Chain A
Amino acid sequence: NAGVMQNPRHLVRRRGQEARLRCSPMKGHSHVYWYRQLPEEGLKFMVYLQKENIIDESGMPKERFSAEFPKEGPSILRIQQVVRGDSAAYFCASSTLDMLYFYDTQYFGPGTRLTVL
């Protein structure tokens, strides 16, 4: 059973360009979370999606950032007009809801390291 896949693993963009980060969840998982991790900081929640629905985007910057999880294909985190402050590691996690205990165990992908020049 393949784990969570993310690509690209490394992405270099110049200021003002667009960055597209992809995440394929584990087989059977219908929930996707995106996180950002800056050096020496913890993982910061950005957005939580289910297929074709954004459930919680309270951690997403209001401008330039968007996310989707279409019926078919991977989840996409899109950053428009990137700035140097967007440089970070972006992690995707997928989960399936445990109906007995009502908690989600998240399994993480290897991350995409975005560098903005």
Chain B
Amino acid sequence: EDQVTQSPEALRLQEGESSSLNCSYTVSGLRGLFWYRQDPGKGPEFLFTLYSAGEEKEKERLKATLTKKESFLHITAPKPEDSATYLCAVQAGTGNQFYFGTGTSLTVIP
């Protein structure tokens, strides 16, 4: 069964303290892996798409990487405004569905 697991569930960082979020997946024929940011009471905001192992994408303090089994979202020198829930989703090669993880809730303390 296709599955997406994110860890940790929650992460508290001091401002400037870099860290990484993990997304492990087991799907048949990965077509794409997606990272989103979700603020309370809002819809997910698209961040990155990765589609092959070894690919990396960057945006401001965020960098996403992909291997054959997992993806990491690296956060460098985070700021309080980076506080949000970060969601990972995958699309398998044989279907139309996107499978979402339950997210990592990030809190950055000033």
Interface residues of A (CB under 8 A from B): 4, 6, 33, 35, 40-45, 48, 55-56, 58-59, 91, 101-111
Taken together as a complex, chains A and B put the C-alpha atoms of A35 and B46 apart, in Å, by 15
**Least CB separation from B48: chain A residue:** A105
Taken together as a complex, chains A and B put the C-alpha atoms of A40 and B4 apart, in Å, by 15
In the bound complex, residues from chain A placing their C-beta under 8 Å from that of B87 are 42-43
Interface centre among B89, B98, B99 (most CB of A within 10 A): B98
**Least CB separation from B99: chain A residue:** A45
Using A103-B31, A103-B91, A105-B34 as known contacts, say yes or no to A45 and B45 having CB atoms under 8 A apart: no
Is B110 at the interface (CB under 8 A from chain A)? no
- A/B interface sample: 9 pairs, CB < 8 A: A42-B100, A42-B102, A58-B97, A105-B49, A106-B98, A107-B46, A108-B45, A108-B46, A110-B42
